[in-house]
Structure 1
Amino acid sequence: MARIKIELPEKFIFSTDVPLYIQHINYGQHLDNAALLMLIAEARVRFFQHFGWRELDVEGVGIVVADVAAQYRSEAFHGESLHIEFATADFNDYGCDLVWRATDQASGREVARGKHGIVFFDYKARSKAKVPAAFRAKTGA
């Protein structure tokens, strides 16, 4: 089976730092893979807040995560902080990819990279929605 390979953009448009607590660590004494996705979800919420939105209200529509891919690059440990960066890529009529990179804040060591494919969603109509023009404009698309 082919390994997942995620290409990073030249420029990220948002970053935030998230500390690693003991509950993020697994029996191998390093960052748990499920915890990584929770930390990325926290950073994703901050990404939307940075632009003045919530995941349930981006210019009147919300988002749903359609797919996730992650590529682990190194271990991360209790007490470290992850510097998480986001960029948008691969827009279509109804969504895009949120590409991310997580590095150790102190050393710059890359811990993981990945993408979340998002689809804009009208929760009242229970159907997909067009990407809001303001989202494209503010996120550099």
Structure 2
Amino acid sequence: MNSKVQTSQVEAEFPSEYYFSTEIPIRKIDLSLDIHVSFASVLDLVMEAHLQFFQYLGYSVTDIHGNSIIFANASIQYQGELLYKDKVIIDVSLDNFGEKSFDLYFRLSKRNRAEKISVVKIRVLFFDYKLRKVVPVPSEFKKKFDTGKYIKMQSPEIGKEISSAVGPDGFVFGFRKLEVWNLAHVFLLHLYELCETWKGKVEPSLLEHIRSISSLLPVRIAGAWGTRIRAEKVKNILRAKVHLEELRYLLILVADLGKVDPSQELEDLQTINSHLKKYLNKVRTGETRKIR
């Protein structure tokens, strides 16, 4: 990875909308001289956030439609300090698509976004390790942002809560913590919009059935999160998998009827199914977090 790191004295422009947020508690090992978070640890936090972001999108950073990403440069603006046991909230946005690059933005804050910490901007390139060269941004990747497949949220002013899903300690709580729920929710919103474009091409009763089944997918996942009984968690996840397979069949049906092409949506279901399997395994092994 070839990268340049710069510090900026100019107010960084975090985009007006963002796609993803995560929260990470600060450990002793993150501190410099046992005082506050070090320069290197800020970058470590950003690296963790970027891995979580691409996982949320359904990608691995080493395989985005056959290519990897590398960092060309990074600029960091420091605005505050992080101390031991602070819980840093990292909002992630993506903007400025070019032929072979785009920009990733990370805004770090704490105390329920009441206090600014840092803004980081990274120029990202796509790289083909077989050819050993930078390649164009995959059209399939850019299209998902252009078509609004991924939900964008308004960037709040620091000091103002943006959602009832944010608790007083700055952590996202409830089922919104689950990557698989977020993926299913985004997929549901996308599918509702898609069904509008399919009107006149697909039977209305079939479209209504697709909407009905798709809405049950995030509902069951939320239900799995909401119960404290492991057997009930498992039951809800298995029900979600049943709804997923029902939905898969309905999409295959509309494809076989020859009116529309849901190939991307079928691929998205594969991603959701993979996350469902991981969640089910965590529940069965007792690795899920306590409800907040």
Report if TM-score (shorter chain) is over 0.5: yes
**What amino acid does structure 2 have at the position aligned with 1:99?**
Y
1:140–1:37 distance in 2 versus 1, CA, 3 Å: farther
Q: What is the alpha-carbon distance in structure 1 between the residues aligned to residue 84 and residue 18 of structure 2? A: 26
1:82 and 2:88 aligned:
yes
**What amino acid does structure 2 have at the position aligned with 1:76?**
L
The match for 1:135 is 141
Q: What is the alpha-carbon distance in structure 1 between the residues aligned to residue 18 and residue 50 of structure 2? A: 13
The match for 2:15 is 9
How far apart are 1:114 and its partner, in Å? Answer: 1.2
Give yes or no for contact 1:13–1:139 (8 Å, CA) kept in 2: no
Q: What is the root-mean-square deviation in Å for CA atoms of aligned residues?
A: 1.7
SS in 1 for 2:35: coil
1:20-99 correspondence to structure 2 within 5 Å: 20-27=26-33, 29-99=35-105
Which deviates further from its counterpart, 37-46 or 97-106? 97-106
1:7–1:137 distance in 2 versus 1, CA, 3 Å: same
Give yes or no for contact 2:106–2:119 (8 Å, CA) kept in 1: yes
**What amino acid does structure 2 have at the position aligned with 1:122?**
D
1:107–1:66 distance in 2 versus 1, CA, 3 Å: closer
Structure 1 outlier segments of 4+, above 2 Å: 2-5, 105-108, 137-141
Q: What is the alpha-carbon distance in structure 2 between the residues aligned to residue 75 and residue 140 of structure 1? A: 36
Q: What is the alpha-carbon distance in structure 1 between the residues aligned to residue 146 and residue 92 of structure 2? A: 12
Give yes or no for contact 1:72–1:111 (8 Å, CA) kept in 2: yes
**What amino acid does structure 1 have at the position aligned with 2:18?**
F
Give yes or no for contact 1:64–1:121 (8 Å, CA) kept in 2: yes
Q: What is the alpha-carbon distance in structure 2 between the residues aligned to residue 87 and residue 67 of structure 1? A: 16
SS in 1 for 2:118: strand
1:114–1:35 distance in 2 versus 1, CA, 3 Å: same
Q: TM-score, normalised by structure 1?
A: 0.91
Give yes or no for contact 2:109–2:116 (8 Å, CA) kept in 1: yes
Which deviates further from its counterpart, 96-105 or 36-45? 96-105
Give yes or no for contact 1:88–1:140 (8 Å, CA) kept in 2: no
Q: TM-score, normalised by structure 2?
A: 0.46
How far apart are 1:134 and its partner, in Å? Answer: 2.6
Q: What is the alpha-carbon distance in structure 1 between the residues aligned to residue 134 and residue 72 of structure 2? A: 11
Counterpart selection for 2:108 from 102, 109, 112: 102
Q: What is the alpha-carbon distance in structure 1 between the residues aligned to residue 143 and residue 92 of structure 2? A: 16
Question: Identity over the aligned pairs, expressed in percent?
Answer: 28
How far apart are 1:13 and its partner, in Å? Answer: 0.7
Q: What is the alpha-carbon distance in structure 2 between the residues aligned to residue 84 and residue 78 of structure 1? A: 17
Which runs of 5 or more residues in structure 1 are unaligned? none
The match for 2:280 is none
Select the structure that is richer in strand. Answer: 1
Q: CA offsets, 1:34-87, max 9 Å, x none?
A: 100011001000111011111111111000011011001111111011111111
How far apart are 1:139 and its partner, in Å? Answer: 3.8
Count of matched residue pairs: 140
How far apart are 1:136 and its partner, in Å? Answer: 1.6
Give yes or no for contact 2:107–2:120 (8 Å, CA) kept in 1: yes
Q: What is the alpha-carbon distance in structure 2 between the residues aligned to residue 83 and residue 106 of structure 1? A: 8
Give yes or no for contact 2:127–2:135 (8 Å, CA) kept in 1: yes
Give yes or no for contact 2:24–2:89 (8 Å, CA) kept in 1: yes
How far apart are 1:140 and its partner, in Å? Answer: 5.0
